[in-house]
Amino acid sequence: MSLFAAFEASSPALVLGPTLEALPSVDVELERQYALDPDRPIAFCRVRCRDRDGLDRALAADDTIDEFERIGGADGESLYRLQRSETDVIGAYREWVDAGGELLECRGSNGRWEVEMRFPDRDSFGRYHEFLASEGVSLELQRLADGDGGRRRGHRSALTDAQREALTLAHEHGFFEVPRETGLSEIAAQLGISKQAVSERLRRGQAQLIDQQLVE
């Protein structure tokens, strides 16, 4: 049976660690993450910060990221695309992928990351936990439970990473607007898969959301 783990982690060597320390009031929600190069994953984050100029200065000075771009947002919330740097940062992404982990939720504020993950078993989580500790990450374990027994009630639906990525990309590019601002071909090109695969991911993802939100 899989293992659910919730914990807090902090270190200036984690991605965005310097920004979280420089701006304690900032709130960062990791929306999705992918990597063509597992040593330099790309993340899309929703960031709430009143001082956008101060945020951009903090990001520019943050050695854990090589590139950042604000690609949307309003009313105090911005959507950023970030790419991790090759040096001066803990390779947590590669480590949890190698351990078979799945990132369920990740939110940063007050200098810390609040993380929820799923692992194949306790041994795989133990290896990841030991890796973070060996890198000097300050860890505070919140919950451990078999399956998803430890997840908060009302948590967002259990979409697969692929479904969430396809749905989010389609939303960002106006696929669900009337009239549509983009088509399946453009989304497929972004994801590097076929139109049929995109269509299937969107259909299944929407069905999952309907089951979660509308079907009792």
37-90 pLDDT, tens digit each? 778 889 999 998 888 889 999 999 999 999 999 988 766 788 999 999 887 799
pLDDT of the residue at 158: 60
Domain carrying residue 88: 3-146
Whether 168 maps to a domain, the answer reads yes
- Using a 10 angstrom Cβ sphere, with 0-12 exposed, 13-18 middle and 19 or more buried, the burial of residue 94 is middle
Tell which residue, 105, 80, 77, 72, has the closest CA to residue 172. Answer: 72
Q: Find out whether 86 and 66 touch, Cβ atoms under 8 Å.
A: yes
Q: Which pair of tokens denotes residue 100?
A: 């078979």
Residue 216 has pLDDT above 50, yes or no: no
Q: Are residues 172 and 130 in the same domain?
A: no
pLDDT of the residue at 188: 87
Whether 42 maps to a domain, the answer reads yes
Whether 151 maps to a domain, the answer reads no
Residue 39 DSSP label? T
Encode pLDDT of 169-210 as tens digits: 999 899 988 888 899 999 988 888 778 778 878 887 787 677
Left (φ > 0), alpha (ψ -120 to 50) or beta: where does 136 sit?
A: left
Direct distance between the N- and C-terminal alpha carbons of the chain, in angstroms, rounded to an integer: 26
d(CA 139, CA 146): 20
Q: Are residues 183 and 112 in the same domain?
A: no
Whether 156 maps to a domain, the answer reads no
Q: Are residues 135 and 198 in the same domain?
A: no
Q: Are residues 70 and 36 in the same domain?
A: yes
Encode pLDDT of 133-145 as tens digits: 999 999 988 888 8
Q: Are residues 121 and 202 in the same domain?
A: no
d(CA 166, CA 200): 10
Whether 10 maps to a domain, the answer reads yes
Domain end: 146, 174, 204, which one?
Answer: 146
Q: Are residues 39 and 127 in the same domain?
A: yes
Please give the model's pTM, rounded to 2 decimal places: 0.66
